Amino acid sequence: MKKFYFDVHMHLDLYKDTKNIINHILQYKSYTIAVTNLPYLYDRAMKKYGEHKYIRFALGLHPELIEQYPEQIPLFFDRLENCRYIGEIGLDFSKTTSRSKLLQTDTFEKIIRACNKYGNKILSIHSRKAEKEVIDIIGAEFNGKIILHWYSGNMSELNRAIKNNYYFSINGDMLTTKKGRDIVNKIPLDRILIESDAPFTKDTRNTYSIMYIENIVSELSYVKKLEKNEMFNILKGNFIRLLK
């Protein structure tokens, strides 16, 4: 069976050998959503690398950078209407001030309202230590697709997100901890996507390889007690539905 590869959350622009990685992705025909952390980084990536059949850059505004780069907020909204892929966005309350929380929350609420109005957008969302707030803001009737990237919250909020029909992108590091495996066990099969979050995961810090995707699928198959080929088919179906 021909393998179907994809990665819904990776930081292509953070590698030094980006062109080699692009060639590697194209060689394996791996559908890739390359998130960015700020609008100017999105602009730079689009200008330098453009888009390929298998690579789409996402417009991002990382929550941990909003307070440091407030001038990027209007640039994000200037570009938002014409971008289908949005990420990395969200909230991060792990190490922050009350001022930062307010700015993050206000900005994220505005992003969700705008995306909901435009419709048909795919959002990759960061929610560290802010899962409840993220789910409260998005709600259950979002006019587009939501991917919770590297979810690490409690089971109560996970259940809410599942009920709201969000997707969850799973990386290899999540599958190395008991909590991560418990989370993956709880997620319905039809809501699972795969990500590398490269270069922020253990096996992607120095280089990016499609074999990393193979390893994630192997681990997912073990956790979900499925044959690897069956897991590949399920993931392929999930990804195709995500894009519809």
Catalogue all structural domains in the chain, each as residue range(s) with its CATH number: 6-243 (3.20.20.140)
CA separation for the pair 191, 187 (Å, rounded): 7
Question: Hey, is 174 helix, strand or coil?
Answer: helix
Tokens of 78: 């200037």
Tokens of 120: 């048909």
User: Which pLDDT score is estimated for 185?
Assistant: 96
User: Which pLDDT score is estimated for 98?
Assistant: 87
Give whole-number Cα distances, 37 to 4, 154, 236, in Å. Answer: 27, 26, 27
What value does the mean pLDDT of the chain take? Answer: 96
Residues 37-93 have pLDDT tens digits of 999 999 999 999 988 999 999 999 999 999 999 999 999 999 999 999 999 999 999
Residues 98-119 have pLDDT tens digits of 889 999 999 999 999 999 999 9
Averaged over 114-138, what is the pLDDT? 98
Q: Are 108 and 136 in contact (CB under 8 A)?
A: no
Tokens of 1: 């069976």
Residues 145-194 have pLDDT tens digits of 999 999 999 999 999 999 999 999 999 999 999 999 999 999 999 999 99
Which of 228, 241, 240 is closest to 3 using CA atoms?
A: 228
Is the pLDDT at 1 greater than 80, yes or no? no
User: Which pLDDT score is estimated for 96?
Assistant: 78
Residues 187-225 have pLDDT tens digits of 999 999 999 999 999 999 999 999 999 999 999 999 999
Q: Which residue has the tokens 């194209």?
A: 26
Go through 186-195 and write b for each residue having 16 or more CB atoms within 10 A of its CB, e for each that does not: ebeeebbbbb
CA separation for the pair 195, 9 (Å, rounded): 5
Give whole-number Cα distances, 122 to 25, 84, 164, 195, in Å. Answer: 21, 6, 15, 14
Averaged over 17-22, what is the pLDDT? 95
List phi, psi (to 5°) of 61: -155, 85
Question: Hey, is 120 helix, strand or coil?
Answer: coil
